[in-house]
A and B are shown apart, each in its own frame.
Chain A
């Protein structure tokens, strides 16, 4: 699950996944006699995570569509909802409105394919419903389309009664639990467990806990017939005692801090490790790229060219889905998790930039230094090590500093492979609290402190070695 879809999936103040989807998944695992291992995967990467065996089931509010059924196998629907337009109370027409939707959702596609119903509408995409509500509050959008339940939840959470559902459901959506096509037995077991949960009342209990109202079990069960032929007759048990609604998170900085600090810890750890490792590897590749052995130099230059010619995000996905998967399969154990993959991609990436920095630094050293060393009988290798590199690295220090700053900012992308660093932690806090601004401001403050400290350290080093270059 994505952890970004309240009340279905979100994270608590410990960073644990909670919500309707989380509870259903945990309950399913218990009934299937499997360890419940909830994995937070960004929505954009969730299908790849399933196909590559990072997860076995997607219990993440995924609507059952023909297109998705081509690549995955769905359980029977485990809840039914639908697409709903929300707008300010009293909005008469959506003509020319700015309409917010979440990225990669089915809503945008629907609006796009029904231009007659939405004349002149401009679609704006956001990362989550919380961001859309914030956008509505700051007048960046006029209306939005979301899941009926989710939208209602966020509006309630934002404490505004200014926004309401407009008109009927655009269409109904049944969400299922997705598995790999080959896992037929697993899907059958999931179906049986779902039915069990409905029959013994556990399902209704979970539903009420997160959505706040009792489930319309008749609607759910009747939807089952849309998806499979005949089903065993379900006899839902009486509702269990109603539970308290999900606890609201006080939007105080103090409560946001633990997650942000943990994220900042990852950001700092990744940055420092990458900086140190890539200094060594970058110098090595930089030296290779000016090697007199043409083949080696060509190889090093090819490496730099390839890495600089691809976005870090793509490199992260390659490290996570290809390199890590390869090693994990090779050793039959998780030897390279998200952190390993992130470190791998960041080092590979920064190495290329540092290699260019080193190469530039070496070429910037006056040729006369080579001559002078040669005239003293120094070999090429000795000259490089004792004369050229010390001056080249000193001259390259400001450029290394730049690479370091870029690196720290680049770590913000590793959330894409499920490592909750500072930026991703901030997003989680946004989803959790419904507050869009404060978590990002706090995250920005953390970045400023981290980058400021590192820059200061680099410029002190520059000053300490000042005058060492001609």
Chain B
């Protein structure tokens, strides 16, 4: 994986009150790569993701997309544009409850980008087809299964044609079969050009689901390497302890 770096964070810092959560968090993700962030609960994984799309403002550090610096103090339209460029799939999905699957996907292109509805819908149908949900376009999101909902959430995050997709705890709500489907989907997306950073607790999933794993501890990435290598030959004691505790 040696494409151009799409997303880069340099020395991000974030504290909530007196609690430092991110301390010198740095990460560079080349195009099409799937990076998994792992680490103990409370290590700051979700916070790191939220800082990458500026849902949370880092206190210090630099953010770059395609080599361009993105000021962390962005507001208004520029902030919207950055967030649209860095899509996010939440752990609890947060699908819009009052809208159908299709309308969940169409909402932002129509109302943020001002796309004509017909055009946005055509693209939304393509996205639904891509995640295997072409026949459920009109369904209310409550009427979908957990796995289907997650795929709607992924399609929704892709509707703004983001350069990077962030996924928090992607596997937590899925059963084994759905996890296998998800892995296939992520690789398809990667092949199609999407760069991804995901957070998960599922070490079996990341082994083949991610190209690269970053282990977070104490608010920073302390070990970083190809997925198999990092899982099979952990270098730091803390990663060894973490993997041991995870029942490996």
How far does the alpha carbon of A405 sit from the alpha carbon of B111 in the complex, in Å? Answer: 37
Per the 8 Å Cβ criterion, residues 344-371 of A in contact with B are 366, 368-369, 371
Asked whether A378 and B92 contact (CB < 8 A) given A467-B140, A467-B142, A469-B98, the answer is no
Interface residues of A in 111-161 (CB under 8 A from B): none
Interface residues of A in 445-470 (CB under 8 A from B): 467-470
Q: Residue of A at shortest CB range from B141?
A: A470
Contacts known (A368-B92, A372-B95); A379 close to B80, Cβ less than 8 A: yes
Q: Is B205 an interface residue (CB 8 A)?
A: no
- Could you tell me if B92 and A377 are in contact, using CB atoms closer than 8 angstroms? no
B92 touching A376 by the CB < 8 A rule?
no
**List of A residues within 8 angstroms of B157 by Cβ:** 375-376
Please tell me which stretch of B81-89, B176-184, B186-194 contacts chain A, meaning at least 4 of its Cβ atoms lie within 8 angstroms of it.
Answer: B81-89
Report yes or no: A376 in contact with B156, Cβ–Cβ below 8 A. yes
**Contact of A368 with B94 in the complex, beta carbons under 8 Å:** yes
Whether B83 lies near A375 (C-beta < 8 A) is yes
A154 vs B143: C-alpha distance when bound (angstroms): 68
For B88, list chain A residues within 8 Å (CB): 372, 375
> Is residue B160 contacting chain A, with contact meaning CB distance below 8 A?
yes
Complex CA distance for A369 and B98, rounded to whole angstroms: 11
A378 touches B142 (CB 8 A): no
Instruction: Please state if B112 and A382 are interface contacts (CB–CB under 8 Å).
Output: yes
Contacting A at CB under 8 A, from B72-100, are: 76, 79-81, 83-84, 87-88, 90, 92-98
Partner among B76, B87, B111, B143 whose Cβ is within 8 Å of the Cβ of A378: B111
Q: Is the CB of B94 within 8 A of A377?
A: no
A391 at the interface (CB under 8 A from B): yes
B83 and A374 contacting across the interface, CB-CB below 8 Å: yes
In the bound assembly, the distance between CA atoms of A16 and B92 in angstroms comes to 66
Would you give the shortest CB distance from A124 to chain B, in whole angstroms? 55
Given contacts A368-B90, A382-B112, A467-B140, contact A375 B53 (CB under 8 A): yes
User: Which of B90, B95, B108 meets A377, CB within 8 Å?
Assistant: B108
User: Which residues of the partner chain A approach B55 to less than 8 Å between Cβ atoms?
Assistant: 371, 374-375
Q: Quick check: is B8 within 8 A (CB to CB) of the other chain?
A: no
Check B97 against A378 for contact (C-beta < 8 Å).
Answer: no
Per-position binary interface string of chain B over residues 45-82, scored 1 when its CB falls under 8 Å from any chain A CB and 0 otherwise: 00000000101000000000000000000001001110
Contacts of A468 in B (CB 8 A): 97-98, 140
Task: Name the CB-closest residue of B to A379.
Answer: B80
Query: In this assembly, does A180 line the interface, its C-beta being within 8 Å of a C-beta of chain B?
Result: no
* A374-B55, A376-B83, A386-B107 given; A369·B96 CB < 8 A: yes
Q: CB-nearest residue of chain A relative to B97? A: A470
Q: Which residue of chain A has its CB nearest to the CB of B142?
A: A467
Query: A390: CB under 8 A from chain B?
Result: yes
Whether B107 lies near A469 (C-beta < 8 A) is no
A376 B107 Cβ-Cβ under 8 A? yes
How many angstroms between the C-alpha atoms of A369 and B55 in the bound complex? 13
Nearest residue in A to B159 (C-beta to C-beta)? A376
User: CA–CA, A252 to B108, complex, Å?
Assistant: 65
CA distance A467 to B140 in the complex (A): 8
Query: Which B residues touch A368, using CB under 8 A?
Result: 90, 92, 94
Residues of A180-217 at the interface with B, using a CB-CB cut-off of 8 Å, are none
Measured between beta carbons, the chain A residues less than 8 angstroms from B81 are 377
A94 proximal to B (CB < 8 A): no
A394 in the interface, Cβ–Cβ < 8 Å? yes
Q: Which of A369, A386, A391 has the most CB of B within 10 A?
A: A386
Q: Are B112 and A377 in contact (CB under 8 A)?
A: yes
Interface flag for A387 (CB, 8 Å): yes
A387 CB to nearest chain B CB (Å): 6
What separation, in Å, do the CA atoms of A382 and B55 have in the docked complex? 16
Distance in angstroms between the alpha carbons of A379 and B153 in the assembled complex: 19
Are A376's CB and B97's CB within 8 A? no
A394 in contact with B98 (CB, 8 Å): yes
Tell me whether B160 and A376 are in contact (CB under 8 A): yes
Contacts of A379 in B (CB 8 A): 76, 80
Which of A375, A391, A394 has the most C-beta atoms of chain B within 10 angstroms of its own C-beta? A375
Identity of the chain B residue whose Cβ is nearest the Cβ of A382 in the assembled complex: B111
Q: How far is the CA of A470 from the CA of B99 in the complex (A)?
A: 10
Contacting pair A378 B80 (CB below 8 A): yes
Do the beta carbons of A376 and B84 come within 8 Å of each other? yes
CA distance A36 to B112 in the complex (A): 65
Query: Which of chain B's residues 143-166 have a Cβ closer than 8 Å to chain A?
Result: 143, 156-157, 159-160
Contacting pair B111 A375 (CB below 8 A) = no
CB distance from A367 to the nearest CB of B (A): 9
Could you say which residues of chain B place their CB within 8 Å of the CB of A371?
55, 90, 94
- Residues in A neighbouring B98, C-beta threshold 8 A: 387, 390-391, 394, 468-469
Q: Which of A377, A382, A387 contacts B160 (CB 8 A)?
A: A377
The residue on A at minimum CB distance from B91 is A368
**Chain B residue contacts of A467, Cβ below 8 A:** 140, 142-143
CB distance A377 to B80 under 8 Å? yes
Which residues of B, 98-124, contact A by the 8 Å Cβ criterion? Answer: 98, 107-108, 111-112
Q: Which residue of B lies closest to A468 (CB)?
A: B98
The smallest C-beta distance from A185 to any residue of chain B, in angstroms, reads: 69
- Residues in chain B near residue A387, CB distance under 8 A: 96, 98, 107
If A371-B90, A382-B111 touch, does A377 touch B97 (CB 8 Å cutoff)?
no
Q: Tell me the complex Cα distance, A209–B88, Å.
A: 87
Chain A residues within an 8 Å CB radius of B84: 376-377
Q: B107: nearest residue on chain A (CB-CB)?
A: A386
- Find out whether the CB atom of A386 lies under 8 angstroms from the CB atom of B111: yes
Question: Residues of B contacting A376 with CB < 8 Å?
Answer: 83-84, 87, 107-108, 112, 156-157, 159-160
22 A-B pairs within 8 Å (CB atoms) are namely A368-B94, A369-B96, A372-B90, A374-B83, A375-B55, A375-B83, A375-B87, A376-B84, A376-B108, A376-B157, A377-B108, A378-B108, A378-B111, A378-B112, A387-B96, A387-B98, A390-B98, A391-B96, A391-B97, A467-B140, A468-B97, A468-B140
Q: Across chains A and B, which 4 residue pairs bring their CB atoms closest together, nearest first?
A: A368-B94, A470-B97, A377-B84, A372-B94
| Given A377-B160, A379-B76, 9 additional A-B pairs, CB 8 A | A376-B107, A377-B80, A377-B84, A378-B108, A382-B112, A386-B111, A394-B98, A467-B143, A470-B142
